[in-house]
A and B are shown apart, each in its own frame.
Chain A
């Protein structure tokens, strides 16, 4: 999949391919090149003494991968876990990590003029982690710099962030 996408973006390098997911009523988008796969939520082993949004670690084909619930992190949506719960598996640098979201809806291509600078939000997601706002027709997508966010100190997923 990622290869096909890479091919497409090469074809039209100014466009940005994004994966759209929902948290509560809001639509978010991440660079699709950072997405490895989408899977269900199962077999997560709890880790003690960590923030509640870190759900634990799971076995992804032999790799021990942390799972973070963005719904808990941003206090959005309904943090229940069933067969419909979706985990987006991300490739951040050399690392693999999973994020739990309410749902995954689309893969979209955004042209540069569809991406606007993000205003300062009052709560939830810090502007620091935003790449901008995407608008397609009447929809507004919140573009997240997922790499910056996942490796940030407040997520406490990476060693140096906790030092």
Chain B
């Protein structure tokens, strides 16, 4: 094993442990903490300390050491927890996270922050009058002179060059009584009070559990009778008569085995691509065999249907590898909300909905920052102080809701607060000040969207948390870069809702294929509300060259696909084709095509990998015959169609302009 791999493993594991620690601390019931939780928090700190010691990260080791002492007392009920203490623990956890990040970048961690936290931790430890038990399991940094028993630790499959490091490391746990090295095996007799599980969890940063065996041997004569046969860890622990430790180490091993397998996304993408190819080949074969005599080809047909099932299952399984639940993002917010609300003197309850909604990994990572920004905004400027809320006749505690759900081929993320909402007058005044073209006649909805204009802040007082509007343009731009869009709805006095719509770039999409002329286009199924044949009396011309269709009391703008895409030999008579009522965001409109071909799942392929963005098209896919079909971008279609009409007729209405400003 390469030493840099070892570092990497330590950093990854430490990150995971710190995230666990944070989650546990936040969910901790301070009045009556669960023993299991306290133990888990302690174990996390302890493992990190062990690893930090191994790799010589002194800051990290010292910080975790202090934290661990406190946690150890807490889990033995020698220390009474309160909210402030948990806050300190959380701050310590943040510092540790920062230290791990620094070490990962081979930087030196911030010493001032380290000193501050350590001082706070020491103070906490001193404050509490409870008797402090020193030299317990929490103290491997100080070698124990007097052990009561001797452990035989055998590590196999390690290079001889690493033996010295390992022995030195083991020396931290107690006295090395004897040591025997061979080419790939190291056996050490250690006099120590440390439990097997603790030693194992520290060593696990360096070696795998199955390389390691720890057995308690009789006290004397240990130096001579070295047993070369490795004993499996679980067996060894039970042989020592230490049942709980054995159970714990087993659990730990199982947990690390199932938790994760780190694979680069390129590898996954390559598999996804290949499976996509397999599915296409399969449907090509299917089309070929469909023409055969069913009696003669009965077994072939059977095999084909089995192949189809397997290919689909495989495809789904592979796709799911890239999908990550929104929980990955949402789980960050309880902490943020907790910290911010106490800083701002507000009472806020966070509610998350649809945390299991899955989204592509790449998108998840990039949605984090915009979401954080929006949540900060809601807390800082949306939700009022308890006093103000009471005066307005609302409950003292405000509610912030994060919700995610699938909507057609998109994922919809909502950030909802029940705060004061936006102030129309202030927005308009600010817009005028910034020289934006606004008028008092603008609808509320139009006014709210002004907040996405660059350099727009309406916060009366700029706090260090955020200024409502500062960076909203950045949020918008970031989301647009992901191929999504954002809008804002607001009810003054009752709250604000920000809605983010993101496409699932790498996904199988349920779709409807439609024909226009000789060309096939793919329509996201979720965007289609209904399809119908219209009668000519339902079609009405409007000023500006466009037409509308009258459907059940509503007038829908008509978009003719053959016009938008200049398709030759397409049906132009509305009565002879099909009109689909479609909607993605905003108003529904009518889309005219020649005919509907059928409904199927398609693999979304990015057009920009080798080409570029095409107006009105969100992506492409490969059809059963191997040819490429374009997937329509519903929102862009109505825009494209309007632009065409505009250039054809030069009719320019301010409302259309503004809407384009918002969505483009």
- A residues lining the B interface (CB < 8 Å): 43, 45-50, 56-59, 61-66, 95-97, 156-159, 162
A96 partner residues in chain B, CB cutoff 8 A:
610
Q: A49-B566, A66-B611 are in contact. List 15 more A-B contacts (CB 8 A).
A: A45-B627, A45-B630, A46-B519, A47-B630, A48-B565, A48-B616, A49-B565, A49-B614, A49-B615, A57-B607, A58-B627, A62-B276, A62-B622, A64-B628, A159-B612
Q: Are B627 and A64 in contact (CB under 8 A)?
A: no
B628 partner residues in chain A, CB cutoff 8 A:
43, 45, 56-59, 64
Residue of A43, A57, A61, A62 near B611 (CB, 8 A) is A57
Among B261-297, those with CB < 8 Å from A are 273-274, 276-277, 280
A47, A48, A61, A66, most chain B CB atoms within 10 A? A48
* Distance of A66 Cα from B614 Cα, bound (Å): 12
Q: Are A59 and B627 in contact (CB under 8 A)?
A: yes
* Distance of A149 Cα from B585 Cα, bound (Å): 39
Assuming A58-B628, A62-B277, is B622 touching A95 (CB within 8 A)? no
Q: Are A64 and B606 in contact (CB under 8 A)?
A: yes
Q: Determine how close the nearest CB of chain A comes to the CB of B1; give it in whole angstroms.
A: 32
A97 partner residues in chain B, CB cutoff 8 A:
610-611
Q: Are A63 and B610 in contact (CB under 8 A)?
A: yes
Binary CB contact string for chain B from 598 to 642 against chain A (1 if under 8 A, 0 otherwise): 000000011111111111110010100111111000000000000
B612 partner residues in chain A, CB cutoff 8 A:
156-159, 162
Residue of A49, A61, A62, A64 near B607 (CB, 8 A) is A64
Interface residues on B, range: 20 to 34
Q: List 13 A-B contacts (CB under 8 A).
A: A43-B625, A46-B519, A48-B566, A50-B614, A57-B620, A57-B628, A59-B626, A62-B273, A62-B280, A62-B622, A63-B273, A64-B607, A66-B611
| Minimum CB distance partner of B614 in chain A | A47
* Distance of A56 Cα from B613 Cα, bound (Å): 13
A50 partner residues in chain B, CB cutoff 8 A:
614
| Minimum CB distance partner of A61 in chain B | B277
Q: Are B610 and A65 in contact (CB under 8 A)?
A: yes
Binary CB contact string for chain B from 513 to 548 against chain A (1 if under 8 A, 0 otherwise): 000000100000000000000000000000000000
Q: Are A64 and B609 in contact (CB under 8 A)?
A: yes
Q: Are B626 and A64 in contact (CB under 8 A)?
A: no
Q: Are B274 and A64 in contact (CB under 8 A)?
A: no
Decide yes or no whether B567 CB sits under 8 A from chain A: yes
Q: Determine how close the nearest CB of chain A comes to the CB of B29; give it in whole angstroms.
A: 52
* Distance of A46 Cα from B617 Cα, bound (Å): 12
* Distance of A92 Cα from B592 Cα, bound (Å): 39
Decide yes or no whether B137 CB sits under 8 A from chain A: no
B620 partner residues in chain A, CB cutoff 8 A:
45, 57, 64
* Distance of A95 Cα from B626 Cα, bound (Å): 20
| Minimum CB distance partner of A98 in chain B | B610
Q: Are A64 and B611 in contact (CB under 8 A)?
A: yes
| Minimum CB distance partner of B625 in chain A | A43
Q: Are B627 and A43 in contact (CB under 8 A)?
A: yes
Binary CB contact string for chain B from 557 to 570 against chain A (1 if under 8 A, 0 otherwise): 00000001111000
* Distance of A74 Cα from B276 Cα, bound (Å): 37
A47 partner residues in chain B, CB cutoff 8 A:
614, 617, 630
Q: Determine how close the nearest CB of chain A comes to the CB of B336; give it in whole angstroms.
A: 35
* Distance of A64 Cα from B629 Cα, bound (Å): 10
B565 partner residues in chain A, CB cutoff 8 A:
48-49
B630 partner residues in chain A, CB cutoff 8 A:
45, 47
Q: Are A48 and B611 in contact (CB under 8 A)?
A: no
* Distance of A62 Cα from B279 Cα, bound (Å): 11
B610 partner residues in chain A, CB cutoff 8 A:
63-66, 95-97
